[in-house]
Structure 1
Amino acid sequence: MRQYCDTYSKDKPRNLLLTGSYGLGKSHLSSAALKVLIESGYTSIFISVPKLLTKLKATYNKHSEFSEDNYLELLEKADCVVLDDVGAEHGRDPSSWAGSKLFEVIDSRIGKHTIYTTNLGGKALQEKVGARNFSRMMQQTKVITISGPDHRLSQFTQEKGSGVHE
């Protein structure tokens, strides 16, 4: 991630896909990268895909302060966007409303820096988001697989791995 930030250039967009089980720090690493980019003057957004879809649905309420276009435009114009937890959105059909909105976001990010995080492997991710979305996600994208123990649970595991302690 340090190298990604150190060599960041608007003129040479590169994407990252951080994949691995939950609790390994994918979101943390992505958030830290955005902090560095923001400190360097770049506009950056971090949002989980499920939260994004919730926000987009909320715009359909006539009392909403924001329109769907407001959110989509923010995502399109940002120098770097982290789409966290891709594949965690509900719905199995890539042609569903969620799949369609994800397509709009991914398509608008082509030619711009985007960092994706997911708990899914390549095949499972492709099945979840659909071949069209997956193909666009993988354009100019370096895949980084993260492995190890769940950091969130490390405080509950004894050093010798003999169980849980209080």
Structure 2
Amino acid sequence: MSLLETLNQDMKDAMRSKDKQKLSVIRMVKASLQNEAIKLGKDTLSEEEELTVLARELKQRKDSLHEFKEAGRDDLADNLAKEIEILQVYMPKQLTEEELEAIVVETIASVGATSKQEMGKVMGALMPKVKGKADGTEVNRLVQKHLS
């Protein structure tokens, strides 16, 4: 089942159960997917493009969550944490730190990088492999750790 079909089914379920927050998040994701399709001039998005949109929405919420916690706005932070939880359901299974580290080490070896100056080359080769399965900040941290 495609992501859009899953979202439509979950949206109906959320309406039936009167789960307003889940319904709101699903509608927002659907709107983001439709906007991306329009922007790209397509009728439907590929799985990778859908994943990119989902990852972007998730990252925006995680960044906002961090800001709200720093500002002491626990009410907004709790709300965002629930939204993140809802969005995580649609993301692929996240890599464990060990799995991610193994991919980082393998990629560094395959591109032949030896210093931090070659970080861009490593990240360019690495990100397509872990897209949607790992947080970019975590990937960046591990690459820096292994290149130093």
Fold match (TM-score > 0.5):
no
Whose strand proportion is higher, 1 or 2? 1
- With CA pairs under 8 Å and 6+ residues apart, which has the higher RCO, 1 or 2? 1
Q: TM-score, normalised by structure 2?
A: 0.28
Q: TM-score, normalised by structure 1?
A: 0.26
The structure that has the greater radius of gyration is 2
